[in-house]
Amino acid sequence: MKQMLKPSTRLLWWLAILVGFAVLLGVLQSLGRGPTARLDDLFWALLCVIGGLAALDAFWLWRLASPRLRRHLPGSLALGRWSEVRIEIEHDWRRSVPLTLFDHGPEGLGNRFEVEQLPQEILLRKYRNAQWAYRLRPTRRGHFIFERIEIQLGSPLRLWLSRRYVAAPDTARVYPDFARLHNGQLLAVDNWLSQIGVRQRQRRGLGLEFNQLREFREGDSLRQIDWKATARQRSPIAREYQDERDQQIVFLLDCGRRMRSQDGDLTHFDHALNACLLLGYVALRQGDAVGVSTFAADQNRHVSPVKGAAQLNLLLNKVYDLSTTQHPADYSGAIRQLLVRQKRRALVVLITNLRDEDDEDLIGAVKQLSRHHRVLIASLREEVLDEQRRIPVQTWQQALDYCGTVDFLNARLALHERLIAHGIPVLDVRPKELGPQLVSRYLSWKKAGTL
Segment among 72-76, 163-167, 191-195, 442-446 with least mean pLDDT: 191-195
List pLDDT tens digits, range 246-276.
Answer: 789 999 999 988 888 887 778 899 999 988 9
3-state helix, strand, coil in the chain (%, to 5): 40, 30, 30
DSSP per-residue letters across 9-64: HHHHHHHHHHHHHHHHHHHHHHHT-S-HHHHHHHHHHHHHHHHHHHHHHHHHHHHS
Question: Quick check: 278 and 263 in contact, CB under 8 A?
Answer: no
List pLDDT tens digits, range 65-120.
Answer: 888 888 888 878 888 888 899 999 888 888 888 888 888 777 655 567 888 888 88
pLDDT band at 203 (very low <50, low <70, confident <90, very high): very low
pLDDT band at 30 (very low <50, low <70, confident <90, very high): confident
Rounded to the nearest 10 degrees, the angle between the axes of helix 268-285 and helix 310-319 is 170
Query: What mean pLDDT value characterizes the chain?
Result: 82
Res 359: pLDDT: 67
Q: Which helix (H) or strand (E) holds 86?
A: strand 83-90
Alpha helices (H) along 64-178: 109-112
Instruction: Output the CA–CA distances (angstroms, integers) from residue 273 to 8, 268, 316, in the order listed.
Output: 50, 9, 9
Strand 426-429, strand 374-380: pairing: parallel
Res 103: pLDDT: 86
156: preceding bond cis by omega (within 30 degrees): no
**Which whole number is the average pLDDT over 3-17?**
86
251: burial class by Cβ within 10 Å (0-12, 13-18, 19+)? Answer: buried
pLDDT band at 391 (very low <50, low <70, confident <90, very high): confident
Res 188: pLDDT: 42
Superfamily of domain 1-175: Immunoglobulins (2.60.40.10)
Question: Between 145 and 34, where is the model more confident?
Answer: 145
**Which whole number is the average pLDDT over 122-142?**
86
CA distance 215 to 235: 8
DSSP per-residue letters across 394-427: -SHHHHHHHHHHHHHHHHHHHHHHHHHHTT--EE
Above pLDDT 90, what percent of the chain? 14
Question: Quick check: 141 and 175 in contact, CB under 8 A?
Answer: yes
CA distance 252 to 276: 10
Residue 185 has pLDDT above 50, yes or no: no
Question: Residues in the chain, how many?
Answer: 451
Residue 423 has pLDDT above 70, yes or no: yes
Res 350: pLDDT: 94
Residue 201 has pLDDT above 50, yes or no: no
- Put residue 441 in one of left, alpha, beta given phi > 0 → left and psi -120 to 50 → alpha: alpha
Find, among 71, 161, 79, 159, the residue nearest to 118 by Cα: 71
Question: Quick check: 227 and 284 in contact, CB under 8 A?
Answer: no
pLDDT band at 132 (very low <50, low <70, confident <90, very high): confident
List pLDDT tens digits, range 292-331.
Answer: 999 887 778 899 999 988 898 899 888 888 888 888 888 8
Tell me if residue 248 falls in helix, strand or coil.
Answer: strand
Residue 192 has pLDDT above 80, yes or no: no
Where do the domains of the chain lie?
Answer: 1-175, 179-186+190-200+244-448, 209-242
pLDDT band at 211 (very low <50, low <70, confident <90, very high): low
CA distance 80 to 112: 11
Q: Which amino acid is at 34?
A: G
pLDDT band at 339 (very low <50, low <70, confident <90, very high): very high
Question: Between 21 and 202, where is the model more confident?
Answer: 21
CA 438-79-313 angle, 5° bins: 65
Instruction: Say what the pTM is.
Output: 0.71
pLDDT band at 202 (very low <50, low <70, confident <90, very high): very low
Segment among 65-69, 219-223, 421-425 with least mean pLDDT: 219-223
179-186+190-200+244-448 in CATH: which number?
A: 3.40.50.410
